Amino acid sequence: MPTKDSERVARAVEMAKKAHEGQFRKTGEPYIIHPMAVKKILEEWGMDEDTIIAGILHDTVEDTDLTLADIKKEFGESVAFLVDGVTKLSTARTGMRDIDTYLPETRDNFLRLMIALGDDIRVLIIKLADRLHNLRTLSALPPDKQKKIAKETLEVFAPLADRLNMGLLRVEMADLSFKYVDPKRYDYLKDLIEKYNKSAEKSLKRIEEEISEAFKKEKIKFTLSGRVKSVYSLHKKLAKHNQNINEIYDLIALRVIVDDITDCYLALGIIHSLYTPMGGRIKDYIAMPKQNGYQSLHTTVITKDKRVVEFQIRTKEMHEYAERGLAASFYYNEQKVTENYKKGKIEHLPTNLLWITELQMTAAKLREGKKVDYKKLKLNLFADKIFVYTPKGDIIDLPKGSLPLDFAYRLHSEIGDHVIGVKINGKMSNLNKKLEQGDIVEILTSKNQTPKTSWLDKIITSHARQKLMHRLNADKK
Ligand code: MN
């Protein structure tokens, strides 16, 4: 991290100060506090100079008299490109939220988001830094705005951070937001985690001693650290496991960081010789990295005092990448990255971050005015989501595995309550049919239809379940 600003960065700071002069944030502070905070975050993430400059200027085109041309003249094409991308993204952001509310302009905004993203992934990283600072200072906003921003962060930005494998950022964003979305639940779970950790303290210490001794015997260099489960990820896991905390196996997780891959597997062997591994809980994300490039060995074991503990074993490089993700690769490969961006290549990315390439290729097509087949448009950015279409072509995002009733209730509860059938891609289908990426879904309704209890088995989203339950209860009365 530079201790002193370069001449270009210092010039950008002056430019931003002048441009934002007389503007104030909701906190009452001068506006320049915000771009300066974004600058600091980007520096901490180890981003390159152009990104940092664009971060300093990210709000100028939208909110001040400065133009893109001014920025281009002063700092060159690359910086102007990034600022333009961030400005476009902030318009498109609204569109992401509008997917929920089903507005006709959704698709345009969606495309704008694609184009902005496809241009340069650094645009997204600036946007994430921007959002992070806004979240950190959210307390200054009125409650309804707080909730709106927090919810949007949980739905869009935290998953984006996850797609870029920026683990630390994802956790900070999710927990900060969740606090505003559901303060009571947040406090409850935070308390629960603290109590759990306290109760586990002694046995954790013993495990650490046992592990250390065994590793030293095998001459494996290592560092060991405990990992606290974040409040939001516990919340999500509990929802998945019917609120049964005994089914959450990674409440206590220990991280083992070793020198190289060979040692990772050696360490796994040693841990399994000390404790009983739980069947089906060994995951080799080194041989098979996650889609976002995350690598580690995971195993869950039962300790001598019958505790369930998860171990995550990885090298230093994998650890760094798990916490800082895509930003970390800028830090290590700044020179190479910059060159590659100029050439339009992204070789430094982990091999399985192919979705970024796909996104960039799609965006390039759109920019050239070429037709993109919506049905084939693969959006791996949200790997756990599918995007389906109404017959009119509006995009609806749903969790993977969603069924026609989930779709119907997403459109409107009035539609959901009166479903008599569904056509998928023009063909009659049934309510048990899982929807797939790109499906065109047409819901058939009848005024005389009433919701059935049996529908509860034909629904996977909590949103649809709530709506249906609500109606079923009302009918009972
Ligand atoms: Mn901003």
Between 342 and 412, the more confident residue is 412
Q: What is the pLDDT of residue 5?
A: 84
Cα 58 to averaged position of ligand 1 atoms, centre (Å): 6
* 101, 133, 165 - which closes a domain: 165
69: its two tokens: 């041309």
pLDDT, position 315: 92
**pLDDT on residue 356:** 58
CA of 34 to the centre of ligand 1 (A): 7
327 or 413, which is more confident: 413
99 band by pLDDT with thresholds 50, 70 and 90 = very low
Active site residues: 62-63
Identify the weakest region by mean pLDDT among 61-70, 116-125, 284-293, 443-452.
116-125
- For residue 123, being part of any structural domain is answered with yes
Residue 180 lies in a domain: no
The domain tally of the chain equals 3
Ranges 257-266, 330-339, 435-444: which has the least confidence? 330-339
- 72 and 89 share a domain? yes
Q: Is the pLDDT of residue 104 over 50?
A: no
In this structure, are strands 297-302 and 308-315 parallel, antiparallel, or unpaired?
Answer: antiparallel
**Are 155 and 213 part of one and the same domain?**
no
Q: Confirm whether 175 is domain-assigned.
A: no
Calpha distance 420→36 (Å, rounded): 56
CB 66 within 8 Å of CB 88: no
Task: Note the residue count of the chain.
Answer: 477
Question: What rounded mean pLDDT belongs to the chain?
Answer: 82
| pLDDT for the residue numbered 372 | 59
Under the banding of pLDDT at 50, 70 and 90, the label for residue 222 is: very high
* Model confidence pLDDT, tens digit, residues 151-181: 878 877 887 788 778 889 999 999 999 999 9
CA angle centred on 162, ends 158 and 166, rounded to 5°:
100
> Residue 226: inside a domain, yes or no?
yes
380 in helix, strand or coil?
helix
Q: Rounded to whole angstroms, how far apart are CA atoms 266 and 272? A: 10
* 86 CA → ligand 1 middle, Å: 9
Residue 175 is predicted with a pLDDT of 95
CA of 46 to the centre of ligand 1 (A): 19
Q: How far is the CA of 19 from the centre of ligand 1 (A)?
A: 14
Distance CA 463, CA 398 (A): 11
Q: Decide if 260 is inside a domain.
A: yes
Residue 171, token pair as written in the block: 């956790």
d(CA 445, CA 72) in angstroms, rounded, equals 55
Whether the CB-CB separation of 225 and 211 falls below 8 Å is answered with no
Residue 186 has pLDDT above 70, yes or no: yes
Asked if the structure places residue 463 within a domain, the reply is yes
Of 324, 357, 389, which residue sits at a domain end?
Answer: 324
User: What is the C-alpha R_g of the chain?
Assistant: 25
Centre of ligand 1 from the C-alpha of residue 328, in Å:
22
**Token pair of 60 as six digits:** 């100028």
Q: Is pLDDT larger for residue 136 or for residue 368?
A: 136
Q: Could you tell me if residue 215 is inside a domain?
A: yes
Q: Where are the alpha helices (DSSP H) in 368-461?
A: 404-411, 413-417
Q: Measuring CA to CA, which residue among 56, 45, 69 is closest to residue 6?
A: 56
User: Tell me, what CATH number does 293's domain have?
Assistant: 3.30.460.10
Tokens at residue 233, please?
A: 């990820």
How confident is the model at residue 397, as a pLDDT? 73
| 11 shares a domain with 141 | yes
* Residue 102, pLDDT above cutoff 70: no
Single out the residue of 82, 112, 81, 80 nearest to residue 94, CA to CA.
112
Distance 129 CA to ligand 1 centre (A): 9
**CATH code for the domain in which residue 375 is found:** 3.10.20.30
Q: Which two tokens stand for residue 54?
A: 């664009």
Structure-model confidence comparison of residues 73 and 204, the more confident one: 73
Question: Quick one: 210 and 146 in the same domain?
Answer: no
Are 83 and 152 in a shared domain?
Answer: yes
Whether the Cβ atoms of residue 147 and residue 180 lie closer than 8 Å to each other? yes
pLDDT recorded at residue 46: 83
Q: Are residues 127 and 26 in the same domain?
A: yes
Which DSSP state fits 225?
E
- pLDDT tens per residue, range 331-388: 444 444 444 444 444 333 444 455 555 656 666 666 666 665 544 443 445 556 677 7
Compute the distance from residue 375 Cα to the ligand 1 centre, in Å.
Answer: 34
The Cα 17–Cα 12 span in angstroms is: 8
* Neighbouring-strand partners of residue 444: 421
Q: 67: helix, coil or strand?
A: coil
List the one residue out of 65, 110, 111, 54 whose CA is nearest residue 87.
54
pLDDT at position 329, please? 60
pLDDT score, position 261: 92
Model pLDDT, residue 114: 62
Provide the H-helix boundaries in 153-182. 158-163, 167-181
Q: Which of 174-183, 196-205, 238-247, 358-367 has the lowest mean pLDDT?
A: 358-367
Q: What distance in angstroms lies between residue 134's CA and the mean position of ligand 1's atoms? A: 7
Distance 176 CA to ligand 1 centre (A): 18
Distance 16 CA to ligand 1 centre (A): 12
The amino acid that residue 264 corresponds to is: C
With beta carbons less than 8 A apart as the criterion, state whether 297 and 313 touch: yes
3-state secondary structure of 241: coil
Q: Verify that 334 and 460 share a domain, yes or no.
A: yes
Between these two residues, 91 and 7, which has the higher pLDDT value?
7
The confidence score (pLDDT) of residue 158 equals 87
Same domain, 338 and 364: yes
Pairing of strands 252-258, 308-315: parallel
- Boundaries of domain holding 95: 6-165
**Hey, how many other C-beta atoms are within 10 angstroms of the C-beta on 256?**
24
- b (16+ CB within 10 A) / e for 122-161: bbbbbbbbbbbbbbebbeebeeeebbebbbbbbbbbbbbb
213-216: Cβ within 8 A, 24+ apart:
214/270, 214/273, 214/274, 215/267, 215/270
Does residue 293 come out as left (phi exceeding 0), alpha (psi in the -120 to 50 range) or beta? left
206 and 249 both lie in a single domain? yes
Cβ neighbors of 220 (< 8 A, separation 6 or more) are 258, 259, 263, 266, 267, 270
> How far is Cα 325 from Cα 8, in angstroms, rounded to an integer?
27
Q: Does 34 map to a domain?
A: yes
Whether 57 and 49 have beta carbons less than 8 Å apart is answered as: no
Same domain for 70 and 140, yes or no, is: yes
